């Protein structure tokens, strides 16, 4: 393992610690994450038509994802609280896949990246879709949550293989 592969959240004794980012420069940082919720075609159509008793599933899931991104440091113990400057969550409904794809773009100008915030946004948006539609489809599956891209910071750009 070379120095760049070192786990930064562990000290020399293997104890968990929060990384000191105090000396790092502020830079523009962006992360894009995605995931999907697979469901019965009838469930997808009910969400699309807005006929579920709990209301507008995608509007609520979008707000939940935004709120989750802002709360990431409260959910994941060693994440730094970050002043986010942009959060965008989009949904794509695909009848052929019987799925709702979720994509979150999160940005900041700061000392550490926003990958966890983007992943948290997608995860909570997916959980919200499940929660709001579970009365008609308990067999829904949340899947394929991953980091697509990250830009900025010391490690530069990452783009996932497709």
Q: How far apart are the first and last CA of the chain?
A: 26
Quick check: 152 and 30 in contact, CB under 8 A?
A: yes
Residue 5 known to be catalytic? no
Nearest to 89 by CA among 56, 114, 133, 125: 125
Which phi and psi angles does 64 have, rounded to 5°?
-60, -40
Nearest to 47 by CA among 55, 120, 135: 55
Q: Which residue of the set 11, 20, 26, 131 is catalytic? A: 131
Strands 99-110, 141-151: parallel, antiparallel or unpaired by DSSP? unpaired
The catalytic site residues sit at 131
């Amino acid at each position: 393992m070379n120095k760049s592969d070192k786990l930064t959240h562990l000290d020399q004794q293997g104890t968990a610690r929060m990384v000191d980012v105090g000396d790092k420069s502020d830079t523009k940082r962006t992360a894009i994450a995605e995931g999907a919720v697979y469901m019965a075609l009838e469930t997808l159509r009910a969400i699309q038509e807005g006929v579920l008793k709990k209301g507008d599933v995608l509007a609520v899931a979008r707000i939940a994802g935004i709120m989750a991104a802002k709360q990431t440091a409260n959910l994941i113990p060693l994440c730094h609280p970050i002043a986010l400057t942009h959060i965008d969550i989009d949904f794509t409904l695909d009848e052929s896949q019987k799925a709702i794809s979720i994509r979150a773009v999160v940005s900041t100008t700061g000392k550490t990246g926003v990958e966890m915030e983007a992943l948290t946004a997608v995860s909570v948006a997916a959980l919200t879709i499940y929660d709001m539609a579970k009365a008609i489809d308990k067999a829904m599956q949340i899947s394929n949550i991953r980091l697509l891209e990250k830009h900025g910071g010391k490690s530069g750009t990452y783009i996932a293989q497709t």
